[in-house]
Amino acid sequence: MPIIPPTLDDRSYDDLVRELLNRVPAHTREWADVRPGDPGRTLIELFAFLADSILYRANLIPERQRLVFLKLLGMQMRPALPARTLVTLALDDPMQTSATILRPLAKVSGPVAFETTSEVTVLPVTAEAYARRPLSENEQATYREIVHNLGVLYLGSGDASRARGYVTMPVFAGGAANPEGFDLINETIDQALWLALLAPEAEEPALQPAHNEAVRKTLGTSVGGSQQLLSIGLLPAISVPTWNDEQIGPRAALPHLWEITGLDARGQVTYTQLDQIVDTTAGLTQRGVERLVLPGPQFIGAPGNDVRQHLNAGTGAMPPRLDDPAKAARLVAWLRLRPTRRLESLRLSWVGINAVEVDQRQTITGRIIGTSNGSSDQQMALPGTSVEPASLALQVEEDGLGYVLWERGETSLAGRDSRVYTLDAEAGTITFGNGVRGRVPAPGRRVRVAQMRAGGGIAGNLPPGSLTDLDAFELDGRRATGVVVAQPLAAEGGLDAETLAEAEVRIPQVLRHRERAVTAQDYRTIAAETPGVQVARVELLPRFKPHQMREDVPGIVSVMVLPFRPPPGPPNPRPDRPFLETVYAHLEARRPLGTELYVIGVDYVPLGLSVGVEIADGYDREATLRSVRLALREFLWPLMGGGPQRTGWPLGKTVEDRELELVAARVPGVQSLLGNRLNIFVRNATGDDWVKQERSTANTLINIPLAKWQLPELLSVVAVADDEPPNDLRGVPNPFLSDGGMVPIPLVPEVCT
């Protein structure tokens, strides 16, 4: 029998009125008229109303005691997490050749306000990425003689075979990100990415060289004679790992260096390696910014691109040749990114200069939040919720000392004279000590927030181009003007603060596992609570080694996780590498020392279905067929709402045609299944075609067995009316492309011949 706390008093307003009216004959026999509207009846109803209010508040006592108990445990609710992204800055005045240095915490706004997290130098240049693409097989056949002749010209007849043609190819055209990424190792002939630093266009072509020279001097010298800093934003292309990837964990940094071109006294190109002072990309393993120290102006320059004046332009160790005269005229220098040791792959999704990281928090400074009354355990509200603990600087006014900085900590562990306060980051409150554990601020003394950052939430997850406004200040305190902002990447990672209902479920679980993953339920609970990601499903595979698909291996725990995704598919939800890394890091710190931990995705088995139904009279044909397809999708869905128990399709459960037929037959409007059957298709050995599962007899059941680490993925489902189910999925339209009313139409590009 479940434990259900009793209600202290379950009488309602009507019960109270009825009970009082039943007592009237026993106490006041002479009162015979107790109908509604009678003054005595009105008094009874008023009394019942007041008593009902008191009973309601009395019944809250058990809930209050429960919440007080949870509060005594000292486990606070989780604050909101801010969304993060990169933005690029540029000077909107093409004639400006000086740099602008912006203070950190500049406001970048759109539908939601963000702030920059660091200082940034806005240099008067733009950057375009290029790569040396090797010739394709067709191009090699077409230009074989030309490449040979160029080899003879540049290398001599003896070494002409060493010549290798290439095409200067723009990368990340228009500053847009490429989700699939560009591989510097396998898609170039020199394993390098080149950034052309371009000066703004001058008013007249004749003035362009002088304009370029002024920009070059700005790149080489900062205000005060120090070296200039260049901020480069990077987004590595992080592919979705295979379901049994054994390498999930902290990724190794990719060794690389940046170089800038210059010209020596003879006009020959030189390369200067740039020092790196900040790298939030952790070695090109995550989105972030690298800040590079530029050399003096004498080490910055670009060779010419006109082969009539510079015969060797674009050859050998020279930068790629720009054949666009307008861009070549604005070229100030080349930046080269290349690895420092041999790599199998180095994929980038986006690169941009004058970049800075922003997050969905707002900074508050110099705010008085209250005056001490001298009592113990004082609590004060901060001017914001979901506070970033590291950013909070709290000051208390003291005699003869002015405002003194107090430290954040646990007052229950502090000494009598410790200047300590406790922070509830989610609620945005602080609590001082009681005079025995932590000092009490003197009566009448003010408490001030010197600085704090607060904010976050799912509203900050914005698509590219959402952040358009900038409110910033330069280092000297002047408001920055003439700087525009662009958001090339989506803002991601924002999560709302934990609700009270969620905390009530989580906190008792924390008491059970005590931040230690020992039992199977511990692993499930801790993985589901991973901060920063939305884990929708957790499955535990003890003693299973995923990359070898071996079972009963002692000391191994494999945790299968799926991210949240609204139904229905396809595609089914798949965790990407950052998702798996986040869950792995959260579990790794809590696993027993003797346990080998793997965090993996799921191995999906692709399926196709076809079904023919008879539509009942009075039902719309297309709506019924759409409902049949939706019902089948939802039944095989891996997350909440799918499966026989509506909790997601069970891991390793066999897919049976009879179950699917029953699901289709139960859809409103379906009279019957034609042929009393449903066809199931699986992929062939090469994965490029569908194979129908045949029945040996009319009553033979079709079952698709799944391994204990597998789930079905419904990629194609076809429902037809008044006809037998199709035997070939290739000859019917894909319903997933037509349900929303969208019809893809290919466009044939124009090709010059």
pLDDT tens readout for residues 544-559: 998 888 899 999 999 9
Cα torsion 205, 209, 215, 218: sign: negative
Per-residue tokens: 712:
């079905």
Flag whether pLDDT at 412 surpasses 90: no
Whole-number Å distance between alpha carbons of 390 and 398: 23
The residue among 650 and 76 whose pLDDT is bigger is 650
Structural contact between residues 599 and 580, judged by C-beta atoms closer than 8 angstroms: yes
Sorting pLDDT into bands at 50, 70 and 90, what band is 6?
low
Whole-number Å distance between alpha carbons of 203 and 93: 11
Whole-number Å distance between alpha carbons of 381 and 370: 8
pLDDT for 188-228, tens place per residue?
988 899 999 999 998 888 999 999 999 999 999 877 677 89
Whole-number Å distance between alpha carbons of 663 and 630: 10
Flag whether pLDDT at 744 surpasses 50: no
* Alpha carbon distance, N-terminus to C-terminus of the chain: 81
Return the bridge partners of 470, or none. 108
State residue 566's pLDDT score. Answer: 79
Sorting pLDDT into bands at 50, 70 and 90, what band is 730?
low
- Transcribe 547-614 into DSSP letters: TTTEES-TTEEEEEEEE---SS-SSPP---HHHHHHHHHHHHTTS-TT-EEEEE--EEEEEEEEEEEE
Structural contact between residues 199 and 332, judged by C-beta atoms closer than 8 angstroms: yes
For tokens 């900062």, what's the residue?
222
Flag whether pLDDT at 3 surpasses 50: no
Of 19-33, 94-108, 582-596, minimum mean pLDDT range: 19-33
Return the bridge partners of 655, or none. 704
pTM: 0.74
Sorting pLDDT into bands at 50, 70 and 90, what band is 99?
very high
The residue among 160 and 219 whose pLDDT is bigger is 219
Whole-number Å distance between alpha carbons of 469 and 107: 8
Mean pLDDT, the chain, whole residue set: 86
Mean pLDDT calculated for residue range 292-299: 92
Total Cβ atoms within 10 A of residue 110: 16
Cα separations (Å) of 51 from 8, 56, 387? 13, 9, 42
Of 264-268, 424-428, 642-646, minimum mean pLDDT range: 264-268
Flag whether pLDDT at 733 surpasses 80: no
pLDDT for 654-664, tens place per residue?
999 999 999 99
Of 2-6, 429-433, 543-547, 748-752, minimum mean pLDDT range: 748-752
Flag whether pLDDT at 743 surpasses 50: no
Whole-number Å distance between alpha carbons of 310 and 401: 70
Residue 16 identity (one-letter amino acid): L
- Angle among Cα 474, 478, 482 to the nearest 5 degrees reads 70
Which of 323, 322, 314 is closest to 150 using CA atoms?
314
What are residue 97's phi and psi, to 5 degrees? Answer: -115, 0
